[in-house]
Amino acid sequence: MELPGGVVAWAITEQTLLKELLVDPRVSKDPRQHWPKWINGEVSPEWPLFTWVAVRNMFTAYGGDHKRLRGLVSKAFTGKRTAALRPRIEQIVTDLLDDLAAAPEGELVDLREGYAYPIPIQVICELFGINDEDTREGLRRCVDSIFHTSADPAEVTATYAEVYAILGGLVAEKRQKPADDLTTGLITAREEDGDSRLTEQEMVDTLLLMISAGHETTVNLLDNAIHLLLTHPDQLALVRAGKASWDDVIDEALRLEAPVANLPLRYAVEDVELADGTVLAKGDAILIAYAAAGRDTALHGEDADRFDITREVKDHLAFGHGVHYCLGVTLARLEATIALPALFERFPGLSLEVPEEGLQHVESFISNGHRGLPARLG
């Protein structure tokens, strides 16, 4: 398939094959070593996907570099730190529900803008010690733009400059005033881990990865789960009757509507011959089609496009697979298991007020969510 800018890539849509390639050492995420177009200087900073490829963090690392970077990040992003966020997430959710309830009676509310969006951005900003409202708003704007795959060259270059200015300022602030947050933890890893430590760019790019991945994906998880329940009242009734769990809802939503539809890019380190004889040639770019894999009829049957929380096999790759499996999966699940039941318990008469065909999706083939979810609280 052809991506923006005339970049040609293989889109892998079959779940079994995708799992095999995601653990295959012949498939790399490092363009500097394994993508000829990057190595030959053919990729411009104006390319809409430039930031996805240019960053130097574990997202684009391969082999020993990835192991080093992931190990350092894991020291700062611990399960204990995530678990400690539960009371704060519960408070954020309660405050947002109060804000929704304060809307004039009969007025439409946007459940994406007013609920699904602010929960992850507040959580991730507090996790990283970002307290300034202007900084939070700037990061939100930059993350939205990074996922906007139809962005024009001017927007791409402006976003690239803005996000590095914001994160560079954050690092400088935390060096002056260390705190008990993830940014300070990464700075400590940068300065104390000897030969394996983070470079300055790796540290800033790691902040960018964790903020963008920890925010947009969880927004879309909440957005899609809410939308699916409101458009499938029979499934919502199963949860309310105790015949299915909120974990069932989350996993089926992740399977059917992966928060990241397609993820750029990986590269063939050498020729990779598939079972059907297709050859991914050395240097070929590869697009990971998570959304398609979740609807693979070979695994999920002919009704793979149906939302069914009682489905026996809900296997999905929404959080990745193999060495690049998402570090933030525990946090994303924690936010969803708090936010979803709280919303439907607070507003049992909640209803979507726009016909399915009237909903618009975000302008992205990476991010899979809606521009808005207009609803009545009931």
Q: Write out pLDDT tens, residues 236-285.
A: 999 999 999 999 999 999 999 999 999 999 999 999 999 999 999 999 99
376 C-beta neighbours (distance < 10 Å), count: 16
| One-character DSSP codes across 47-72 | STTHHHHH--SGGG--THHHHHHHHH
Residue 196 is predicted with a pLDDT of 56
CATH number, domain containing residue 38: 1.10.630.10
pTM assigned to the model:
0.93
> Residue 274: is the preceding peptide bond cis (ω within 30°)?
no
Domain span holding position 230: 2-376
> Residue 265: is the preceding peptide bond cis (ω within 30°)?
yes
Residue 195 is predicted with a pLDDT of 53
Domain count, the chain: 1
* φ and ψ of 183, to 5 deg: -60, -45
The residue ranges of the chain whose pLDDT is under 70 are: 76, 190-196
2's enclosing H/E stretch is strand 2-3
Residue 180 is predicted with a pLDDT of 87
Residue 202 is predicted with a pLDDT of 83
Strand partners, 12: 288
